[in-house]
Structure 1
Amino acid sequence: MSLRLRLALWYGLLAGLMLVLVMLLTYALHTRGHYDDLDHTLVSATQHVAQEVEASSASTGTSVVTTPPAPGLVLRVYDADGRLVAASPNAALAPEAVPWTLLAGPSVPPFDPLVGLVPSFMPSHPEPGVLGVAIGPSGTRWRLYALPLRDGRALLAATSLDRVDTATRLFRHLVPLLAGLGTMGALLASYLLAGHAIRPVATLTETADAIARSRDFARRVPDPQRRDELGRLAATLNTMLASLHQAYQAQQRFVADASHELRAPLTAIQANLEFVRRHPDLPATERDIAIAEASREASRLARLVADLLVLARADAGLPLRRWRMELDRLLLEAFAEARQLARGQRLEITRLEPAMITGDPDRIKQLVLILLDNAIKYTPDGGRITLELRRSSTHAEILVHDTGIGIAPEDLPHVFDRFYRADPARSRDPAGSGLGLAIARWIVEQHDGQITIESSPGVGTTVSVRLPLGP
């Protein structure tokens, strides 16, 4: 069952139920009002006649009964033995009834039990009169009211219920018909409104399905131009598509760059090995040169694969090992290894404050080696590279400063991108992969830290890493 049909059924049936309840309430109030009004008129007229009968002599009282005060009202006077004493001229129209029998029981309502559920808005008739219902000679219903008189007699008044019964019967037949038509109308209106309301959902679904089939993440779902849940859903889907598009483009660039970087050392290794295989009489010196070049390219390939594995670990969201460590001691170890890589540059530690942090020692050491290795690569012979460790109340800050070639302002925002290398960097380090700073940023982020770079071309570069202190 579709969402549109479910919504239509829910809201249509709910509206139909409310309509049925309203119709039943209207019927009950309408019917109760008619019968209560008739009872009030009957009781008032009968009490008026009873007062005149009690205040008059026997002959005068009989004349009062023979001239009813209201048209259609039938009056009869009975003595204490139940014999008819006097009656109005139209008494034959009303059913025969003994007032003492009515007075012996409670009042009987003239309507069905459903109508009796609603309260009466008419004042209740005073005791000791009793109301009843009887069937007349013609088969119509009559409303009876028996009232005892002070002299021992009883007055019985009757009025036909035919007019009220006919009106209420017609209304009772109209209630289910109107309720059914109203429910059908509510269902139809709910179906149309549900279709209009969820039309944007159908559009979003079709667009999302088309994007999934075509893999065109640059496409966007249409904006319904509404400030409701559907509008927010469209905006959220477009934001998600933008993120997917960006990630998809980054993945494509990464695959293309990785393929290119892997192809170069593999080609060099294959060419040198093929050269040695095809020339078995090659002089030892040339053979050694070819093998050494293949070995260098194999080492470069191993480093590149290791860096790619680190980034794959980063993309997979795998957590790092964490424990307390002495950051200053780890910096000394990394500094000692980096000095072996220097080619005429002066490496110095200008400041080293003790600091304890929580993290992965291997990754932190890799971070420092990446920064020092970059500084060595892009600093000419005779240049100066300094390593500094500062500690504040909440953070430890690692500073690596060099007097190298620097980074151009247009390249600075991209230095953390994977495989990104500025033109001067390519000329100074053709064997580089452009993954070092991307790995460095991932390590810093995994330790809840921050890394920033400030650089001026021809002056030098300063890299700052802020890491939170351990407990």
Structure 2
Amino acid sequence: MSIRLRLTLWYSALLTAVIALFGVVVWGVLALTLVSQIDQTLNKTAVQVLRVSAVVPINDLSIITLPQLELFEADGRDIEVLTADGVLNVASQNLGNFDRPLDSSSLNQKSATIRDVSVGGAHLRVLTQPITTNGKLLGYLQVAASLRDVDQAESVLVLVLVAVGALSVIASAGLISLTAGRALRPLDMVTEAALNITRADDLSQRVPFVGSHTDEMGRLVTAFNATLERLERLFNSQRRFLADVSHELRTPLTAIRGNVDLLRRMNPLPDNRESLDAIQIEVERMARLVGDLLMLAQAESGNLPLARSVVELDTLLLDVYRQARVLAGDKVAVVIGEEDQARASGDRDKLKQVLLNLVSNGIKYTPAGGRITLGLACVNGWARFTVADTGVGIPPEDLPHVFERFYRVDKSRTRAAGNGTAPGGAGLGLSIARWIAQAHGGRLEVSSRLGAGSVFSLWLPLLATRPVSKPAPVPARPE
């Protein structure tokens, strides 16, 4: 999730909470105001009824004389007069045949109470006022008013608040997203510049910035551009040095190659043609050797760059598999065995170079009709690439030395694999592959049986915990 999206969601959630709180307050104030007005009306009606009522004592009895309740029905109020026992004495006509207390729960209270009740599906606000004389309870007066208008007003208010709040949140989210996007634009430019540099290998690019160079974004862009400038100077110096060395080493090879081509066009004798072919093979081998030497020199001096990123190893395996099938052609079959999902931090191209080097060796030293199996497994926090072939194998005495520079297994292995036609390598490929593995915090190992094939294993530390497919002890790191 991007920072822009997180900021938008965070501020939108905050705004939603504020609007919701505001809506609750407005709803509460409105409800309280409307109910207070109804309560005032109920109290006023009760006072008016009791004011025009009279209590006439007859012996030990007290008789209540009431006004005509119909006088108070014009305002839509319901009135009941109950005995001290809660029995209906008289009620306004708009109550019809209703002969129960409007609010039986408030009877037996010593003081006036006002409550919301539901009577026959109607939402009412009921005032219950005890009627007393000389401290003696004579009965109860209940005055009720409908809350239908209040409920409707509250419903309309809720709908309005929800609609206005939703529109406000949506509009604010768009404005916040736009503002955050403009504020974070320098970060996008830094990211874009870094990606362009990675893709094009061009350190001359700079991040354009229009604004204050004293704020956080300005300082970030300034520091990034300064870093790019310094890196550009360093890489240019290194490239000039490597170009000079490469020129000095390759110029004689180019001259030799040109002379060989010239001699070929002179229609040499068969014996001379064989000599020219041998020279051509050696020139090509030396050219590859020069390239490998330059890479190895960079690696050992710590100047070989690693473009580290999160590498999906299972995707890398599929890429290597597709390219390996092209390299193998019809000579050997290339298949995928175990394939787990795994991630590691590293240089994807360098890791691919290691795997393709191992595949190339397998193709070279596997007889026609053989098979190369690629695999990827997660073992105790490590990712294990395997390249297994059914080739001629490596003699036990040669196994400890296969990763040494310029070390080559005896030529019988090459002849058996390539039928004597493939030129041997310079003995640097596995050395470079092992350095790349170690630079990633991993290791490169090999197991082999003569005549049965070899298995090369590239171990890399996993970036994140993954399910272990086949628990197995991790071999010790090579010294």
TM-score (structure 1 length as normaliser): 0.42
Higher strand share: 2
Higher relative contact order (CA 8 A, sep 6+): 1
Larger of the two Rg values belongs to structure: 1
